[in-house]
Structure 1
């Protein structure tokens, strides 16, 4: 059958609503991301605690290949590091670098391999890295494999989510929130599985489980390839097989604004990024983690955060859908501003808990932990996925994967900030430690307000009625 002009204007994968009102490709991408995040958070939940409790202790630290020069480099940046602060600093830097490497992965995908091949290669490298974490000696090579794999995987997979939708399709932000919810569900189970294995059998078993999860994610991605949108052919020795889009007039200004917002986003995310940095170590030392006479692993705090986050992301999707039926739905930068100010209140719960601990001598109750996670996740659910949607929509077609990677650089910068903050845990009070986080995030909210009033129109969405998807 010869397609009509309308069929040619709107590709089938954009009109598809087989997955809860979205293209079925979103389902495969979301489940792939679920297993990738299972492996990532399963390992990350163990990383700072593993260093503090085992790897950086005498008898283990000497086995790590090349660790002497690496530690000297870290201490040149942060000063003398103990096993406690060394674990927090490495976890913070690692948590930041996983968002820097996607810049190079995006460039490689845009210009050389294409997104599909980059995602497959990245998944294979991550699986190898998780398995290498099972051995003390290969600690640093394992981190290199995982960081390289994430670089090839993360930004390119997120870009494929955006590519499922036409430019004016308002389901895009909703899709990224569903995509982010898959991440949060993975975080519920990952620390329980890897943390439980680490407690019962040893840390190396937990790292092995993370590797298996990544292999499952790779299988799901390959199975769903036929439901993903086509991509421009990459460059190779013979040149470009088909023309790639170029920057249109005026797109350079949008790119400049998106670049300038990166350090602001970095400040906005410091509270959330500290979850994978010094927070687990701080919680292990200061929270009352006993239950029925048994000490719980601090890794389970990430599962707590994920449970809360699933609720807040789902609530956010429902809220904005309701709001959109009764009022004009705000644009992405407005939602990010609101989310940042809400998230800035979260560390104040830990400030209050620290004041109580100092006054009574008793460890911080988990009610303060729940309060911190609840407030933080309400704010973050209106900042991170909405930010992804903004950078996906506003990015020129010629720089799709690259601009998603630029957005992720904000988390790299945030990781460097929280790594530095983590080194202060032993020298300042909990009140000052968490108060600094809140102040930095509030500053980001103020800058967002200024950016919204001065450059909001350049980033505002333009809806083309002819680009709206129609029911299949």
Structure 2
């Protein structure tokens, strides 16, 4: 931590935040460019052209209980959704392994570089039909080295009691969403004009640019010379100050467990935007440019984050900034409100996709919820991380995305079996689990967080 503080601040935050912001921008360009096209590529190309020729297809089909010889069109659609769900889920599970390896053996920087190389290689291999599934595995493994460790390095930039931490994660979130905004626009256009290979190769180039920036700016990051001796977390400070080590750790894990459970329901809702919603909006490969709508959610984050951060900073100076639990509640409320719009749209249109303006309203409200919820949750994960387990604890946040994605992929297999009204009502009900858990647990969460802040004062 001392090493991080010796580096001058930039725009009111450690200079390393700008580096990690930029690296994450390009890494997310790589990820979201692929994510925007994956369900369409699976449905119209990979599973439509002798999928038996893909290495590992027979094994995967057997594990999923899928019989290619007897499968109906609806079953192929369900398989595409399951593959998408497994991929988009496991890219958020492997960061738990990558964080553990970083904390215990290799350090964050080495894991990030190795992960980036694997991701770039995986994206290059995607459009080689035989290696399609192998390419997905490489991306999953590479993301494990990258994702949690970059977020943990953001946490390393701030002392445990530094009030800028949550706002730093909001700015880091801008980097994520800058890449996520550009990727669907660029990659959908490339796929439409130049073909699938050009689109996926662009995602590989994005990852390599991010890696180059990271390596060039290592000196600005904490722990640049190897594994860093971690600063004591808030939970550990409380334990040391009151002699309640076990109780403090249990309290911190209880907070993280409740936030994790609530987050799973939120991600179930989010991943439908690239799964069932894309199949609702895109009927044929000729409509692939409709993937551009996935640039709408991150663009809302780009526009909204500076405004919210400015407001929160103003409120902080007056001692009135909303606490993290309040931010979680507001965010979850926005998500549920947005999700309730979709069954209404489907009912009014007779099951047809909504027009662009109602769709924009849905995305605007949903992403406002994300703006409140995700940075607050990430800040709490990093603040409550036990000593020496920063990367592993941050990876737990991505584990919630893993569980939400796996569930979302399975639920997406039901698309077509129910009417759009019934399907989107079911998703709205599931997203309600997020706000319900946070609301019921809010007094406990506030009490534990207040106890940690008593020592800081």
Report the 3-state secondary structure (helix = DSSP H, G, I; strand = E; otherwise coil) of the residue aligned with 2:290: coil
In the aligned structure 1, how far is the partner of 2:325 from the partner of 2:66? 38
Report what 1:469 is aligned to: none
Query: In the alignment, what sits opposite 1:266?
Result: 264
Q: Please give the alpha-carbon distance, in whole angstroms, between the structure 2 residues aligned to 1:160 and 1:336.
A: 23
Structure 2 CA distance, aligned partners of 1:99 and 1:48?
18
Correspondence for 1:87: 80
Shift of 1:352: 1.9
Bigger helix share: 2
Question: In the TM superposition, what whole-angstrom CA distance separates every residue of 1:224-272 from its partner, at most 9, and x where no partner exists?
Answer: 11011127965xxxxxx97997965122331243134322210123222
Partner of 2:134: 141
Shift of 1:122: 0.5
CA distance 1:400–1:231, shift in 2 (3 Å) = farther
**1:270-295 C-alpha deviation (Å, 9 max, x unpaired):** 22222233322222249xx9xxxx95
Of the three residues 11, 17, 24, the one matched with 1:26 is 17
Structure 1 residues 262, 243: CA separation in 2 closer, same or farther (over 3 Å shift)? Answer: closer
Is the 2:325–2:445 Cα contact (8 Å) retained in structure 1?
Answer: no
Q: How far off is 1:410 after superposition?
A: 0.7
Among 26, 40, 43, the alignment partner of 1:52 is 43
Match of 1:389 in 2: 379
- Work out whether 1:462 is the aligned partner of 2:453: yes
Q: Take 1:464 and 1:11, find their aligned partners in 2: how far apart are those partners? A: 21
Q: Answer yes or no: is the 8 Å Cα contact 1:84–1:281 preserved in 2.
A: no
Superposed displacement of residue 452, structure 1: 1.5
1:39 aligns with 2:30: yes
Q: Secondary structure at the match of 1:65?
A: coil
Distance apart, 1:73 and its partner CA: 2.2
* Runs of 5+ consecutive residues of structure 2 not aligned to the other structure: 240-244
Distance 2:229 2:418 in 1: 58
- 1:123 aligns to 2:113 (yes or no): no
- Residue 142 of structure 1 and its aligned partner are, at CA, apart by 0.6
Q: Could you tell me the TM-score, scaled by structure 2's length?
A: 0.90
Q: How does 1:155-194 map to 2 (within 5 A)?
A: 155-194=148-187
Counterpart among 296, 301, 304 of residue 304 in structure 1: 296
Name the CA shift for 1:357/1:244 in 2 (closer, same or farther; >3 Å).
closer
Map Cα deviations across residues 203-228 of structure 1 (whole Å, 9 max, x no partner). 12211111111000000000111011
Offset, 1:353:
1.6
- Secondary structure of the equivalent of 1:110? helix
- The residue correspondences of 1:4-15 to structure 2 (distance < 5 A) are 11=2, 13-14=4-5
Matched with 1:73 is 63
The aligned counterpart of 2:438 is 448
TM-score (norm 1): 0.87
Distance (whole Å) between structure 1 residues aligned to residue 151 and residue 230 of structure 2: 23
Instruction: Work out which of the residue numbers 218, 221, 245 in structure 1 matches 2:214.
Output: 221
Task: Rate the CA distance shift 1:348–1:465 in 2: closer, same or farther, 3 A.
Answer: closer
Task: Report how many residues are paired.
Answer: 441
- Structure 1 runs not aligned, ≥5 long: 1-9, 235-240, 467-472
Q: Aligned partners of 2:380, 2:140: CA distance in 1, in Å?
A: 25
Which 10-residue stretch deviates more, 196-205 or 312-321? 312-321
Match of 1:401 in 2: 391
- Secondary structure at the aligned position of 1:45 is classed as helix
Q: Hey, what's the Cα distance between the residues in 1 that align with 2:229 and 2:309?
A: 38
Match of 1:373 among 334, 359, 363: 363
Range with bigger deviation, 181-190 or 449-458: 449-458
Deviates more, 1:79-88 or 1:138-147: 79-88
**Cα distance in 1 for residues equivalent to 2:94 and 2:184:** 24
Question: Alignment RMSD, CA only?
Answer: 2.6
Q: CA deviation at 1:17?
A: 5.4
- Give the Cα–Cα distance (whole angstroms) in 2 for the partners of residues 316 and 206 of structure 1: 34
| Kept after mapping to 1: 8 A contact 2:7/2:220 | no
Alpha-carbon distance in 2 for matches of 1:261, 1:243: 24
Contact 2:166 2:375 in 1 (8 A): yes
Preserved CA contact (<8 Å) 2:188 2:288: no
CA gap 1:311/1:341 in 2 versus in 1, 3 angstroms: same
Could you say what secondary structure the match of 2:10 adopts? coil
Q: Is the 8 A contact 1:114 1:231 kept in 2?
A: no
Give the conservation status (yes or no) of the 8 Å contact 1:13–1:229. Answer: yes
2:320, 2:102 → 1: CA distance?
37
